Amino acid sequence: MPIIVNLDVMMAKRKMSLNELSEKVDITLSNLSILKTGKAKAIRFGTLEAICKALDCQPGDILVFEED
């Protein structure tokens, strides 16, 4: 898939755990884990907005398009 999810990179930069982000964003650990590992097929804009607010970043810091 040409969309790369760098959620783990941003979490490491902000020194935030998966549990902490899950609580701040109000998303289950399992759904956040699916997103973090790049296995998600979609993400709601509301969820992306909440993650960006919690991590103080831009959507482009988390999602990257790379062609094969």
C-alpha to C-alpha distance for 12 and 2, rounded to whole angstroms? 23
Give the start-to-end residue ranges of the domains of the chain.
3-55
Mention the CATH class of domain 3-55. Answer: mainly alpha
* pLDDT digits (tens), the chain, 68 positions: 689 999 999 999 999 999 999 999 999 999 999 999 989 999 999 999 999 999 999 999 999 999 87
pTM, two decimal places: 0.90
Name 40's Cβ contacts closer than 8 Å, sequence gap at least 6. 5, 31, 34
